[in-house]
Amino acid sequence: MTETSNTESQSVLEPVVDPGFILTPYVKQLADFALTYLKADLPVHFSGPTGTGKTALALYVAAQRKRPIVLMHGDEEFKTADLVGAEYGFRLKRTRDQYIHSVTKVEEDIAKRWTDNRLTVACKYGFTLVYDEFTRSRPEANNVLLAILEEKMLDMPPSGTDENYLQVHPEFRAIFASNPAEYAGVYTAQDALRNRLVTIDVGYFDEETEVAIVKSRAGIAEADAKRIVKLVRAFRKEGAGIYKYAPTVREAVKIARALKARKLKPSKKDPFFRIVCLHVLTNEVHPTDLKQAKSTKSGQLLFKLINRYG
């Protein structure tokens, strides 16, 4: 591994695959395409709804390169300095001269201290950058990425370092992830940046993958995971217009964990299971009276689906 300073090392992750990561044929196909693009020095962009595993997939792909990983999360408060670096604090250098034992000469030199932030660290040492939810950052903050991805040059801020430009390491690669533009707090990425990326749409997983994820993340039996996944997938398909955002495998995991906490199984005869499904899948706080809950559109649909799959 390339040597970095203590400060720089704090922002670097080792390329280790999460032992809980689920690699099904569907996921492997997405990962293989992404690795091919990275090998060709093309930045990859995973785009899709929240809860579809974009970040986990990006970190898995990054780990396959066997290069250290720099992870950043988009933030609307970001400025260019938050990505590249800035002068933080001061550095005091003191020289004590006693060449003549009876005379003490002390010289002090105070200078501003420059600290590289994560983007610079990745570019300097050839690490893999994973920029999660990059569209939550303002487009003007992300402008610095344009020259990095195209000209392989990082434009350093004035007075930041001795060099005005940093040549990007040849092993540097970038993986981006973002939610759809209609999500709250998301900015539309500038065309100049999107045109430099190869976008892979990460939609909803196939049923096999969702079952494997729920079984692993919640620690439940495969048969129970299948019932919950079938229910969530059916609600996603038939509940358009009821929910604001379509439920994903993340909601299936929530239901499974809630049931496991009570040592229960998904059953249409269990009132707790029905209420949990209402809370998780509709984002509403329904009364515990199931008759009142059943009067809502979401309740009617869910109870129908629970009777079918529970």
At residue 100, the pLDDT reads 60
Which of 3-12, 247-256, 278-287 is least confident? 3-12
At residue 169, the pLDDT reads 96
Give per-residue pLDDT as tens, 65-88. Answer: 999 999 999 988 888 888 887 655
Mean pLDDT of 99-116: 59
CB-CB contact of 135 with 74 (8 Å): yes
Round to whole Å and give the CA distance between 177 and 136.
10
At residue 271, the pLDDT reads 85
Mean pLDDT of 132-143: 90
At residue 49, the pLDDT reads 85
Burial class (CB in 10 A: 0-12, 13-18, 19+), 245: middle
At residue 45, the pLDDT reads 96
Residue 162 pLDDT > 70: no
At residue 105, the pLDDT reads 59
Mean pLDDT in the chain? 84
At residue 82, the pLDDT reads 83
At residue 62, the pLDDT reads 97
Kindly state the percentage of the chain with pLDDT values over 70. Answer: 78
Beta bridge partners of 175: 44, 130
Mean pLDDT of 113-126: 84
Round to whole Å and give the CA distance between 123 and 224.
46
- Global pTM? 0.79
Give per-residue pLDDT as tens, 14-69. Answer: 999 988 899 989 999 999 999 999 999 999 999 988 888 899 999 999 999 999 99
Positive or negative torsion for Cα 186, 192, 193, 196? positive
Res. 307 pLDDT band, cuts 50 70 90: confident
Residue 175 pLDDT > 90: yes
Question: What is the length of the chain?
Answer: 310
Three-state DSSP at 183 gives coil
Beta bridge partners of 173: 128
